[in-house]
Amino acid sequence: MENAKSIDWDEVGVGLKALAREITTVSSAGLHRPKVVISHGGTDADAGSLRIDVRAVAPQLEQVADLIFTAFPGGRYYDLKNNGMLATEGDIVIFTDSDVVAEPGWLSGLLEPFSDPEVMCVNGYTYLSYDDFFSRTFALIWFFPMAHGDKRFASKRAMNANNVGFRRDWIVDHPFPRHNGFKVSCTLLMRELQREGRTIRNVNARVYHYSPRGWRFFFWRALVTGRDADRKFVELKSPGRTQRIVKSFSRWFTMLWRTTRRIIGHAGGTGMPLWQIPFSLLVGLAFYSLAFWGQFSLATGLVSDDIEIVPGYVGHS
- Each residue's pLDDT tens digit, 83-104: 999 999 999 999 999 999 999 9
Q: Which helix (H) or strand (E) holds 21?
A: helix 9-28
Q: Is residue 305 part of a domain?
A: no
My answer on whether 185 and 235 are in the same domain is no
Domain residues for the domain of 282 are: 215-300
Q: Is residue 113 part of a domain?
A: yes
Mean pLDDT of all residues in 290-295: 98
260: nearest Cα among 228, 289, 232, 217: 289
Residue 317 lies in a domain: no
Residue 248 lies in a domain: yes
Q: What pTM was computed for the model? A: 0.94
Q: Is 317 a residue whose pLDDT tops 50? A: no
Q: Is residue 130 part of a domain?
A: yes
Domain match, 226 and 179 both: no
In total, how many domains does the chain have?
Answer: 2
Residue 268 in any domain: the answer is yes
Query: Is residue 316 assigned to a domain?
Result: no
> For residue range 225-241, what is the model confidence (pLDDT) as tens digits?
999 999 999 999 999 99
273 Cβ neighbours under 8 A, 6+ residues apart? none
With CA atoms as reference, report the closest residue to 54 among 44, 112, 65, 266.
Answer: 65
User: Quick check: 316 pLDDT over 70?
Assistant: no
Clarify whether residues 113 and 250 are in a common domain.
no
Pair 233, 144 in one domain: no
Same domain? 188 vs 222: no
Indicate which CATH number applies to the domain containing 106: 3.90.550.10
**From CA 186, how far away is CA 15, in angstroms rounded?**
22
Q: Is 310 within a domain?
A: no
The band of 312, judged by pLDDT with boundaries at 50, 70 and 90, is confident
